[in-house]
Amino acid sequence: MAHTTFTPEGQKTESFRLLSGHKIPAVGLGTWRSGSEASHAVFTALVEGGYRHIDTAWEYGDQNEVGVGMKRAIHAGIERRDLFVTSKLWCTELSPERVRPALLNTLQQLQSDYLDLYLIHWPFRLREGASKPPMAGDVLEFDMEGVWREMEKLVKDNLVRSIGVCNFTLTKLNKLLGFADLIPSVCQMEMHPGWRNDKMLQLCRMNGIHVTAYSPLGSQEGGRDLIHDQTVERIAKKLNKTPGQVLVKWGLQRGTSVIPKSSNPERIKENIKVFDWVIPDQDFEALSSISDQKRVLDGEDMFVNKSEGPFRSVADLWDHED
């Protein structure tokens, strides 16, 4: 359930309580492919948009810029303790001894003493220098338990407040739940009306795990153009909102936090104006019935090697659950 609060500027906002006890703001700024614009996007989001949640990852290559944007916002009067900063452990670092150095490097890039949330980015371990798509020997065995134990230690050592995973399946989440001392607070997954992934949402709900919806607008280049989807456009027009706002709100009404990416100041501010209206039931149902359910980010280019394996198809990556 979302909790409504107000920013010091009086702006209405919402957050969700995590298993760790901390709160995650309902809308965050995505930063994948923001590149050199990331610092400006982060500053605009925090200072002008009222965002308090930033999503980044070592693999995006923009953490230095994100750090600069946060630092400038802090100089402008925003308190670090009011921010919720997420980063992710990349696939080349998925062995126990590499977890802590990777986190320390991320903290340095972000110019921060701690992270609010650290996520396993993808549940596949890659050799450093792996090709895309991977060559034989590029995808290595992943010691999930060993890595998770190290993530748990980061929490105990106050370097990270909450931990979680991304891109997990029912099989992988159940495996993790079998040995975890700290249950993941968050599972971050692709979710939008074109890929609802109801089964993962349900498993997370049953275990009290909060879900963050990534690529809520259908993602970027090569993604799915939900902004111009007929149903989305029709409902946006009817509610006098933009398609972007309707897509963000759909995710919030499902109980997920949502992290739309934009590096355009107007769209950054637009995407968070979603707290003082609702999508009526009938329209919510129409959005939840969009056909042709399909992932945009299926991981094929990063992890599938059709002849050598160990993952020979997209279905292999997702444990044949889709």
Binding-site residue ranges for substrate: 121
Stretch in the footprint of ligand NDP (CB under 6 A) among 8-16, 98-106, 212-220, 303-311: 212-220
Catalytic residue among 60, 114, 118, 214: 60
- From start to end of 27-95, where are the E strands? 29-30, 53-55, 84-89
Among 131, 202, 264, 313, binds ligand NDP (CB under 6 A): 264
- From start to end of the chain, where are the E strands? 2-6, 12-17, 23-25, 29-30, 53-55, 84-89, 115-120, 125-126, 139-140, 160-166, 186-190, 210-214, 257-258
Q: Name the residue nearer to ligand NDP (CB basis): 23 or 249.
A: 249
Q: Does 261 bind ligand NDP (CB under 6 A)?
A: yes
Q: Does 215 bind ligand NDP (CB under 6 A)?
A: yes
Q: Calculate the dihedral angle through the C-alpha atoms of 17, 207, 157, 30, rounding to the nearest 10 degrees.
A: -60
Number of residues that bind ligand NDP (CB under 6 A): 28
Burial of 306 from C-beta contacts in 10 A (0-12 / 13-18 / 19+)? exposed
Alpha-carbon distances, residue 35 vs 38, 64, 66, 184, 210 (angstroms):
6, 10, 9, 29, 28
Q: Does 244 bind ligand NDP (CB under 6 A)?
A: yes
Q: Does 185 bind ligand NDP (CB under 6 A)?
A: no
Task: Tell me how far apart the alpha carbons of residues 31 and 132 are, in angstroms, rounded to a whole number.
Answer: 22
Tokens matching residue 293: 């359910």
Q: Calculate the dihedral angle through the C-alpha atoms of 54, 55, 59, 65, rounding to the nearest 10 degrees.
A: -10
- Which amino acid belongs to residue 65? E
Q: Does 267 bind ligand NDP (CB under 6 A)?
A: yes
60 among known catalytic residues = yes
In the complex, minimum distance from the CB of residue 48 to ligand NDP, in angstroms, rounded to a whole number: 15
Among 262, 298, 311, 317, binds ligand NDP (CB under 6 A): 262
Q: Does 53 bind ligand NDP (CB under 6 A)?
A: no
Among 159, 227, 286, 290, binds ligand NDP (CB under 6 A): 227
Stretch in the footprint of ligand NDP (CB under 6 A) among 25-33, 98-106, 153-161, 170-178: 25-33
Q: Which residues bind ligand NDP (CB under 6 A)?
A: 30-32, 55, 121, 166-167, 188, 214-220, 227, 242, 244, 259-264, 267, 270-271, 297
Catalytic site residues? 60
